[in-house]
Amino acid sequence: MKSNLFSSDIFRIIIITLLGILLAWLVGSLTVKMELLALVVTIALASGIVYLVLVFKEPKIAFLSYVVYCFIISGLLRNNPQLPFGPVMEALLALSWLAIIFNYPKYNWSNLNNDYCILVLVWFIINILEVLNPADASILGWLNEIRFTALNWLLVAPIAFLLLNRRKDLNIFLAIIISMSVLATCYGLKQLWFGVSVGEQIWLDAGADLTHVLFGQLRVFSMYTDAGQFGASQAHVSLVALVLALGPFKLWKKIALGLAAGILFYGMLISGTRGALFALAAGGFFAIFLTKNFKVLILGTIMCVLFYGFLKYSTIGSGSYQINRLRTAVDPKDASLNVRFNNQKKLRLAMEDLPFGGGVGITGVNGDKYNADKYLSHIPPDSYWVKIWVMYGVVGLVVWFSIVMFILGKCCGIVWNLQDHGLRVKCIALTAGTAGLFFCSYGNEVMNGLPSSMMLYMSWSYVILAPKLDKETDVNKYV
């Protein structure tokens, strides 16, 4: 293996010496000019320098920081809109890659030679080419939208193959997403029982109350962008935790995972997100299907039908706002559902002459902000599938849908052939969870929002990597 300049002792001594001189100079200058404030600034600078040194020694620190940050960024922005928390997310991701490149000899770059990474690159290239779309959407809208539709996917997907490719890393990832989701539910309960913060109330008063306070009841949104993202994410991770709880693990882990699944399911209920129900249904079907236990599949199908009948044809639990909210998901006469259908009819007429769509960023938040002069920007997509159709046209929709279905199909094939039972259960949980997110995104823009998009991309990466992990029994060994 090639020697790495950045890991040599001489290089470290030089860098630490220079940083020490710089810090000493800053402390002296700040003390003269800002007195006590200098102490706070100095501690922040020193902490930042230590963090950078640790990151360049162990790049996974930066990426795991990014994973945690994806859960809290929306809450930070909502409560502190004057502070630049947004760029921190991109900075952590960029720092992860910079540290990886500096330590490039340590990693097995051949792991990136797989169908998943190639398809993600193809989708990114398609997004780059969309800047030439004759519909003439705003370049700024394209630039802001591509960050979430393609760039983040391109930067996140390879991380598991290069940086976090041990069994232990998979366990850490699962522990983080379940723990942070439970924390989000706890914060959501705080909103429900004790009220929202000042910043959250300002956000509601600015117009969000139209969709988040229904019949005097708060649709809990916790630390996420909105109640839709919160509810779908809780349903997704609840399913993951439930599948893991049924796996061949220690009793205390099974109990903890079962409790987490119950807490997260309640988080889904208090969000008032009807579409999250379909994340559970679709994901649950995939989970049972992947177990190859068709008796359980039949039993699960019967239970789903009974639950549908409970919502559709009974009035049990009608005193509960959460249950009543779920009942509207199976009511074809629901007003908001028919508004969505009417919007789709308008879009169908507008899209007749746009086989390649109206351009990336033409609809949604970036449509309102950067393409207000375009007709398509004034019709809410109400669905990520519809948003893809509007931005990329029927051609792009077919390509995107085919890519996602190929990845899901490949994940299912991999899961069926894994030999290690524990690893297989983890991959069933991840595959089922991503399937739930994908189908749930027909009703909401879930898989394009945080933290769901990050969990989706990493979950697919780990399942694609699983055959190599299956051959390595040492949880601490990189593949």
Percentage of the chain with pLDDT > 90? 68
377, part of any domain? yes
Q: Is the model's pLDDT at 229 over the cut of 50?
A: yes
Q: Single out the residue of 290, 298, 165, 303 nearest to residue 240, CA to CA.
A: 290
15, part of any domain? no
For residue 233, give Cα distances in angstroms to 265, 416, 478.
Answer: 10, 26, 30
Residue type, 14: I
pLDDT in tens, 158-203: 999 999 999 999 999 999 999 999 999 999 999 999 999 999 999 9
**What is the distance between the terminal CA atoms of the chain, rounded to a whole angstrom?**
16
Q: Which residues constitute the domain of residue 308?
A: 58-470
Is residue 226 classed as helix, strand or coil in its secondary structure?
Answer: coil
449 touches 236 (CB < 8 A): no
Q: Is the model's pLDDT at 320 over the cut of 80?
A: no
pTM exceeding 0.85: yes
Burial 199-237 (b: 16+ CB within 10 A, else e): bbeebbeeebeeebeeeeebbbbbbbbbbbbbbbbbbbb
Q: What is the DSSP letter of 476?
A: T
Percentage of the chain with pLDDT > 70? 85
342 touches 380 (CB < 8 A): no
Higher pLDDT, 241 or 324: 241
pLDDT in tens, 9-62: 565 556 656 666 665 665 556 555 555 565 666 677 777 888 888 999 999 999
* Predicted pLDDT at 7: 47
* Predicted pLDDT at 287: 93
476, part of any domain? no
pLDDT in tens, 419-475: 999 999 999 999 999 999 999 999 888 999 999 999 999 999 999 999 999 998 777
Mean pLDDT over 216-242 rounds to 95
Q: Averaging pLDDT over each range in 302-316, 332-346, 358-372, which range is the top one? A: 358-372
* Predicted pLDDT at 2: 44
443 touches 275 (CB < 8 A): yes
Q: For residues 465 and 205, what is the distance between their CA atoms, to the nearest angstrom?
A: 46
Burial of 271 (0-12, 13-18, 19+ CB in 10 A): buried
* Predicted pLDDT at 189: 97
* Predicted pLDDT at 6: 46
**Rounded mean pLDDT of the chain?**
88
Cβ-proximal residues to 303 (8 Å cutoff; 6+ apart), any chain? none
40, part of any domain? no
pLDDT in tens, 275-288: 888 899 899 999 98
30, part of any domain? no
Mean pLDDT over 288-305 rounds to 77
For residue 339, give Cα distances in angstroms to 237, 274, 368, 380, 382.
Answer: 29, 15, 19, 10, 10
Joined tokens for residue 344: 């789709």
51, part of any domain? no
For residue 365, give Cα distances in angstroms to 94, 219, 242, 379, 412.
Answer: 24, 21, 34, 11, 34
48, part of any domain? no
Q: For residues 65 and 211, what is the distance between their CA atoms, to the nearest angstrom?
A: 31
> How many domains is the chain partitioned into structurally?
1
Q: For residues 216 and 389, what is the distance between their CA atoms, to the nearest angstrom?
A: 35
Q: Single out the residue of 114, 110, 94, 113 nearest to residue 102, CA to CA.
A: 94
* Predicted pLDDT at 451: 96
pLDDT in tens, 395-418: 999 999 999 999 999 999 999 999
10, part of any domain? no
* Predicted pLDDT at 165: 94
